[in-house]
Amino acid sequence: MSYIFVTGGASSGKSRFALERFKGLSKVAFIATGVSTDPEMEERIRNHRRERPAGWDTIEEPLDLIGALARVPRESEGVIIDCLTLWVSNLLYERSIGHGAVLSLAEETAGRLEGAAARALVVTNELGFGVIPANEECRLFRKLAGEVNQVFALKSAEAWLVVSGIGMRLK
């Protein structure tokens, strides 16, 4: 079974959209890539946890998405990965993994999702709609995040853009 790709700006309603797509399923594995780095991020993580149904499994994995997918319980009806942008950031800044290696991991992870038995959905941020970052490091991050998004979008069965809480199907 292939997967659904969901993108949009920050705080655009992507995560809520993802939860709605899996509404009614009792066994969903939620793979969270966020890392608590400051009080604001801690609050965002707490809010996201509260929004998920109590019976869902949460796998907190900032780096190894393939390993996280292997830890999804067999009885899971669905898998949500939220979010690719944080995953790319974690790989770059926590593990100092290079551009090419990140793209290779993206290809491999997207391939694993294509063959997953359970329904799957991937959430990410669209960074290309904003202003051009002022420094090279941020421009390189934006470029890599965009390339990772392209890998996942192209391999997905469906792709959605969420703006102001409204999902628009891209494919």
Query: What stretch of H or E contains 78?
Result: strand 78-82
Catalytic residue among 16, 27, 48, 112: 48
48 is known as an active-site residue: yes
Q: Are 127 and 142 in contact (CB under 8 A)?
A: yes
Dihedral angle over CA of 110, 58, 118, 67, nearest 10: 40
Q: Are 126 and 153 in contact (CB under 8 A)?
A: no
In sequence order, the 6+-apart residues with CB closer than 8 A to the CB of 127 are 85, 142, 145, 146
Could you give the residue numbers annotated as active site? 48
